[in-house]
Structure 1
């Protein structure tokens, strides 16, 4: 991509490539005219030159393909950035407990005694030992440091003996509703804690981040996302006002161009935000469209790969296990009713079909009591939704951001271990949703899986696992529909249609330039390269 210098600032024409607008009224154009960060016109180059009046900057796409910038509709942007400072224990770099111990021991050697050592991303099903590590395993890395390591799903952690002592956790510690404390034959905690109610026994004693740490995390996340062509994110849980302050500071300083739609924890909406939803720019002195308070975010279950997604039928390789429900269904319904009455959008994490039942029961009760025609309540992930549940979603107007990356990263184990073939092949039911008129976005849930919209689009089209199996071929969609999952349909999930996700007059000039046209290479979309990322008409990253 080449930009001509010396032309009038603020006005640009993007041309000389394939431009897919994702606007059904005008799917492709020759050129796009941008002024002051907004799309002014899209069409023939000669017409746009005439409309520009003064000599504009001309951005030569060099034969590449320009699309609306990718919108990642469920990920943990800020949390992932903070997590980059933790010891990497993901399965691609750490495949055994001895290797885990080596990595943690190395970090402990660089850390003052008594300070915490934190790891991230272990997957017990990818370890040679095929089990969770225990407190005794982590003690081998250090007994001078409290150690905690997060499961790849972030729905569990393991702590060493020093951490358990600091937290006052022992065999007398009571079980926690909505969580799971693993115990040995004598009733003593093994160090494994699943789901946030149990995890908080340990995490509440870990160092708490403040605005500086969150700002550092945002910088790292920004540098990780921009090369992927991502121009907007739905940050899937903002739990405290320091996180909002960090976002605001970074935007005000001109250091964070990515637009953010925050999913807000109930306690934050109840406290500092006082139920204030929508664009926070006017209140915080920020440009419009940069930081938006979106839905109330709640959880009703965990993760399939952690055996904590709540299933109606047991796990394929664990016939006594149905998963974990975070809340009593009656309490969940009461919270849904409370926030629905306030007029807020609601987004609830639901992986297992039993959790999805609870969520839909709550949504239906709220909508019957207080009808709203355009609520856009969401089920996040929605992985194992049954056909009857999809029909119910369509009737209620419930939408979803779908965890498409699971097919690649966990699909083989879904078939052989977690769910079995029948349930595995109906995972991420995109085609069924589309037939019923349910609009959906696609996501990575980063840092659970790597953020990569091109991989997500490829998976929606091809539905292949990492071992090459095709999983649920009937649920595949075409390239154009898959592109919408990171474009206009992802924008619609956030009430941002008319502003982003499409290249058309009046929209933000947020674009991604690719090395080729995804529509022409459906089988190799994941191998395309991002050449440039453009936000507000300005190139913020280039290869």
Structure 2
């Protein structure tokens, strides 16, 4: 009698199980007990005797490890409380598709319609606007004043690094009188035009409204909505990569993730710029003591620059292709370096936002000097986004043991814009250079940065393979990956970046029983069909959540 025979378990069967376990890449059955995997293989190889329940409802489907989204934000669950004004179509948590808006007039009309349902004193908040697609002119406070001059209006841009507000909002925040703050754009008359860039300027608005959208990501409704979005796309492990980790927020995250009806594991990262270093270190260590199977604190997120499409990323010489000024730092470079040192010395893992290659260079310098002072094997610091990291920088990253989690969706959503306006042809050949990083042996992953782009791991995988823009232009054909390699980026490799590869990311004995059930086999469909594969069900800890 084998040890498996003495316990009762559930066995899931499938036409094919893709395990992401290199020692056993495929199987037909997986046995689950107490939320963990008891065995993977054929039914005969599991040697279970008669003491099991066979769940064969997915016998004609394909199973994979639950997808791991290594860079996303619980804001995906927050922002649907507000009005969506994005350029591309977007599906909300309830399955309603909001059509994309391609003119400023269309944006104004949707805001006017949305305003009708608001109370008299309620600010109008919208999100998803992407000014890079409106080349004829910028959205200004005067455009928003035409909707409502008395009510504060805030339109968050798609990158989340910028916003446009109306005159009432400028007056309430006092930003109409503080033109010396970096990030407050001025019009031809020398007064603020309503566009605010990066955190120093944007937080003046949030403070005036007593509204912290990042803290709202720890609310019950936001987390439940976030989990619904994940369930629909087969994601079982989500990040919230910019969370203040307040005491109240942590308590709520604990309560919601312990609820068996909420199908997600959550990995929040402390927003490092929110606290002085000593306080931040203490808070992360204290939060880490409250971890359980579905909540994993311990990461630190450091924001360096902004976004390339928003012209707030820091770009090395010769700068932006169209001659626009260089971007902004979210803190002084010496402050950013000091924070890297302090969190590294404390033994914590850093996830560092680096969109522009100048930001990459600064953080490579910071990590290298930190390692010289306090050597740490397997530190797993990860640079996030890395839109145009160059080859010399990648060789440094490999030598320093740094992981790279690249925002592959950039290629589709902004590739044409980068080619024509912000970066030019040559640098666009190394947008998210995943194949080059892989050839160097650098740990890599890919992500969607929801809500910047939709939560959809199979679409992200497709971006790493096809590297195609909406116009059909292929950017960086030598940086494309195979489907097999792409799928590992959104499972086991993403789990590595979160230091969770010992418990999620592949289907093997002892790991959490997290799986995505697919209608079709991603290895058999054509590349362009990959993003459209239907997720039939999502399984978290052995609990099945059907999407049909």
In the superposition, the TM-score normalised over structure 2's length comes to: 0.92
Aligned counterpart, 2:62 = 65
Kept in 2, the 8 Å contact 1:10–1:37? The answer is: no
Counting only pairs closer than 5 Å after superposition, residues 341-380 of structure 1 correspond to structure 2 as: 341-380=345-384
List per-residue Cα deviations over 1:7-65 (Å, max 9, x = no partner). x99621111411110111110112111111111111121232x3254132323423211
Closer, same or farther: CA 534–168 of 1 in aligned 2, 3 Å: same
Provide the rounded CA distance (Å) in 2 between the counterparts of 1:233 and 1:368.
33
Closer, same or farther: CA 152–16 of 1 in aligned 2, 3 Å: closer
Provide the rounded CA distance (Å) in 1 between the counterparts of 2:411 and 2:37.
36
Aligned counterpart, 2:75 = 79
Structure 1 counterpart SS, 2:508: coil
Aligned counterpart, 2:243 = 238
Closer, same or farther: CA 94–197 of 1 in aligned 2, 3 Å: same
Structure 1 counterpart SS, 2:470: coil
1:362 deviation in Å? Answer: 0.5
Counting only pairs closer than 5 Å after superposition, residues 71-470 of structure 1 correspond to structure 2 as: 71-76=68-73, 78-92=74-88, 93-127=100-134, 130-170=136-176, 172-176=177-181, 179-208=182-211, 214-241=219-246, 242-266=248-272, 267=274, 270-271=278-279, 274-277=282-285, 280=288, 283=290, 288-470=292-474
Structure 2 counterpart SS, 1:507: coil
1:146 deviation in Å? Answer: 0.4
List per-residue Cα deviations over 1:117-162 (Å, max 9, x = no partner). 10101111323x6332111110011112100100110100011011
Provide the rounded CA distance (Å) in 1 between the counterparts of 2:217 and 2:285.
25
Kept in 1, the 8 Å contact 2:281–2:346? The answer is: no
Closer, same or farther: CA 198–292 of 1 in aligned 2, 3 Å: same
Kept in 1, the 8 Å contact 2:76–2:451? The answer is: yes
Structure 2 counterpart SS, 1:51: coil
Kept in 2, the 8 Å contact 1:155–1:302? The answer is: yes
Kept in 2, the 8 Å contact 1:297–1:347? The answer is: yes
Provide the rounded CA distance (Å) in 2 between the counterparts of 1:272 and 1:431.
35
The structure 2 residue matched to 1:536, chosen from 535, 541, 545, is: 541
Q: Unaligned stretches of 5+ in structure 2?
A: 1-5, 89-99
Closer, same or farther: CA 498–212 of 1 in aligned 2, 3 Å: closer
Kept in 2, the 8 Å contact 1:68–1:503? The answer is: yes
1:522 deviation in Å? Answer: 4.6
Closer, same or farther: CA 320–208 of 1 in aligned 2, 3 Å: closer
Closer, same or farther: CA 494–279 of 1 in aligned 2, 3 Å: farther
1:215 deviation in Å? Answer: 1.1
Q: Size of the alignment, in residue pairs?
A: 526
RMSD over aligned Cα, in angstroms?
A: 2.1
Report which stretch shifted further, 263-272 or 391-400: 263-272
Kept in 1, the 8 Å contact 2:179–2:192? The answer is: no
Aligned counterpart, 1:40 = 38
Kept in 2, the 8 Å contact 1:302–1:309? The answer is: yes
Kept in 2, the 8 Å contact 1:12–1:59? The answer is: no
Counting only pairs closer than 5 Å after superposition, residues 10-21 of structure 1 correspond to structure 2 as: 11-21=9-19
Provide the rounded CA distance (Å) in 1 between the counterparts of 2:218 and 2:395.
44
Kept in 2, the 8 Å contact 1:82–1:213? The answer is: no
